[in-house]
Amino acid sequence: MSTEMETLVNREYKHGWVTDIEMDTLPPGLTEETVRFISAKKEEPEWLLEWRLKAYRRWLEMTEPTWPNVHYPPIDYQSIAYYSSPKSMKPLGSLDEVDPKLLETYEKLGIPLSEQKLLAGVAVDAIFDSVSVGTTFKATLAKEGVIFCSFGEAVKEHPELVKKYLGSVVPASDNYFAALNSAVFSDGSFVYIPKGVRCPMELSTYFRINAANTGQFERTLIVAEEGAYVSYLEGCTAPKRDENQLHAAVVELVALDDASIKYSTVQNWYAGDENGVGGIYNFVTKRGKAGARAKISWTQVETGSAITWKYPSVILQGDDSIGEFYSVAVVNGMQQADTGTKMIHIGRNTKSTIISKGISAGKGQNSYRGQVKILPKAHGARNYTQCDSMLIGNACGAHTFPYIDVQNSTSDVEHEASTSKIGEDQIFYCKARGLNTEHAISVIVNGFCREVFRELPMEFAIEAQKLLGISLEGSVG
């Protein structure tokens, strides 16, 4: 191994700056009062407060999971602030009223919020710490009956929908972090696509953590009625800070019969420095429930966060429903990721596909954890899993934990796995053809991820490729 492969990690995180804006931040600490405060601040109805309190009480009885293959000092949940919003925020303000500093923030992140400047065909909901800054193209979407708004707004404007579906896929008691989120979630996005409607544009939420010592607990709920279609994208960044910050989100997808939801994530939270100081703890629960002939497709590109713990899953409840999971997870420096999916086959002839690409560089540790469960009534169910790991350098690790549980003999489950190493020989081959080292690595890694990138919407695919380049910058040579 030459020095080229040994010199590690010298990356620049380009979203590491802080917006200087006056914030209303709840002092650190979590009690029943905190939950009540958040609910009151958001002017929530009684039933939602009760729902939160129930989740909070449940959370108190639960213990933090220790099974993930990640290591971090115990989190002091009393040292985290659970609510933070810009002082200038008016509830439900239109985009015209948004503080220019916030608009600048998103402009700088490459997410202009004025509709004229936006990418045609993408509507954006921007979440800044605990609140939604604004949602674009609402009027255009409303014409089709599509609802795309902040979660807080949905609670006020469409309480019947929220009440019906909130917690219907990820119950408050599902796991430790989902319970915590259910108790203290602040904002997030809500999407509703009526029966038979194909959402005319890509919907996108951009999450930004800004305040220090603040957790971000957003909640996303997407409901696609019978035969509806929607493609949804989320992106995330945070400033560089020396403390670890907790991000515990919950995403629920409901695809009724014949509906289709495509959910794409480019996660680029701050990863901490090369010594593992700072960075986001990204502990997220994402799950979808698919009705008959419905399809739910998760695509994720995970390059950021100090620790990632997430398993976007699909409950294949209806007959002939389809679940897909395409993932690229990159760890560099001291990053740790334990990510994968669960495919729960309940209905007949349900199909799932899992393509996971893990890339480890620096001292990063990358684990794929996946569960494929075929229940007794899932006749003719099929799963195909492909799980590939790539190692860059000698100090990183790749781990695979597949769980396969088949209870129906007419089903068909396939699992393929590979581990490869970007070798000097691969890089030398590219160099001998005139590509420099960085270029060579980017070509090799992007080739490795191709099956996942081609699932992303065009602009996102380009963004993801660039991000991958930045994440691995300095990992070799």
Residue among 285, 291, 305, 312 at smallest CA distance from 368: 312
Question: Which CB sits closer to another protein, 101 or 450?
Answer: 450
CB of 269 to another protein, least distance (A): 26
Q: What are phi and psi of 382, to 5 degrees?
A: -135, 140
Contacts for 440-444 with beta carbons within 8 Å, 24 or more apart?
441/392, 441/472, 441/475, 441/476, 442/468, 442/469, 442/472
Calculate the alpha carbon distances from 186 to 75, 149, 190 in Å.
Answer: 20, 14, 13
Contact 202, 231 (CB under 8 A): yes
DSSP code, position 79: G
Rounded-to-integer distance, Cα 293 and Cα 335, Å: 38
DSSP code, position 471: H
Question: Which CB sits closer to another protein, 24 or 424?
Answer: 424
Listing DSSP states for 352-374 in one string gives EEEEEEEEE-TT-EEEEEEEEEE
Question: Which CB sits closer to another protein, 1 or 139?
Answer: 1
Question: Which CB sits closer to another protein, 70 or 476?
Answer: 476
Rounded-to-integer distance, Cα 4 and Cα 423, Å: 11
- SS3 state of residue 324: strand
Question: Which CB sits closer to another protein, 353 or 426?
Answer: 426
Question: Which CB sits closer to another protein, 98 or 328?
Answer: 328
Calculate the alpha carbon distances from 98 to 130, 187, 211 in Å.
Answer: 15, 17, 18
Residue 18: count other Cβ atoms within 10 Å of its Cβ. 13
Residues contributing to the site for another protein (CB under 8 A): 2, 4, 424-426, 428-436, 439, 443-444, 446-451
Question: Which CB sits closer to another protein, 117 or 454?
Answer: 454
CB of 447 to another protein, least distance (A): 3
Question: Which CB sits closer to another protein, 194 or 477?
Answer: 477
Rounded-to-integer distance, Cα 250 and Cα 267, Å: 15
Residue among 172, 174, 168, 181 at smallest CA distance from 130: 181
CB of 298 to another protein, least distance (A): 20
Residue among 167, 314, 322 at smallest CA distance from 250: 167
CB of 219 to another protein, least distance (A): 36
CB of 451 to another protein, least distance (A): 7
CB of 466 to another protein, least distance (A): 16
Question: Which CB sits closer to another protein, 30 or 441?
Answer: 441
CB of 99 to another protein, least distance (A): 44
CB of 434 to another protein, least distance (A): 4
423: Cβ contacts below 8 Å, ≥ 6 apart: none
Residue 66: count other Cβ atoms within 10 Å of its Cβ. 7
CB of 10 to another protein, least distance (A): 19
Rounded-to-integer distance, Cα 139 and Cα 469, Å: 37
Burial (Cβ within 10 Å: 0-12, 13-18, ≥19) of residue 435? middle
Question: Which CB sits closer to another protein, 117 or 466?
Answer: 466
Question: Which CB sits closer to another protein, 261 or 430?
Answer: 430
Tokens 């495509």 belong to which residue? Answer: 262
Question: Which CB sits closer to another protein, 163 or 431?
Answer: 431
CB of 19 to another protein, least distance (A): 38
Contact 34, 185 (CB under 8 A): no
CB of 427 to another protein, least distance (A): 9
CB of 372 to another protein, least distance (A): 24
